[in-house]
Amino acid sequence: MTDGPSDAGTGPLGSVESLEPVWNVFRQGGVVACPSDAAPMALAVDGARSVYRFVCSRCGVSSPWFEAKASQVTLHGSTNPDLPPDSG
């Protein structure tokens, strides 16, 4: 278990390589388990910017914001993982 939410771009879901398989499980209707405590992860959505991130429903660990088109994931950086990135 962690002491709180992870910074964007760090931790077990901080890379494209770790997010793509998780995104594909989610897209197929599967439950995504938190890598820190195995609790279900929720998908946060910013529809205005078309970006997503996974957030643990128990401990708050989160992935960085990302864009997803089909099975391809692109990370979007942010200095604050609680806020979606500015566009432009």
pLDDT of residue 84: 53
Please say whether the beta carbons of 65 and 75 come within 8 A. Answer: yes
Residue 37 sits in which domain range? 16-75
9 within domain boundaries: no
Strand partners for 31: none
Helix (H, G, I), strand (E, B) or coil at 84: coil
pLDDT for residue 74: 92
- Asked if the model's pLDDT at residue 79 lies above 80, the reply is no
- Please check whether residue 45 lies inside any domain of the structure: yes
Is residue 54 in some structural domain?
yes
Domain count, the chain: 1
Q: Is residue 2 part of a domain?
A: no
Domain-embedded: residue 4: no
Cα dist. 39→16, 19, 45, 51 in Å? 21, 17, 19, 22
Q: By C-alpha distance, which of 56, 8, 2, 67 is closest to 32?
A: 56
Query: Domain for residue 33, yes or no?
Result: yes
Give me the torsion for CA of 33, 56, 47, 79, rounded to 10°: -120
Q: What is the pLDDT of residues 30-51, one digit of tens each?
A: 999 999 999 999 999 999 999 9
Instruction: Quote the pTM value.
Output: 0.74
Instruction: Summarize the confidence of residues 2-20 as an average pLDDT.
Output: 66
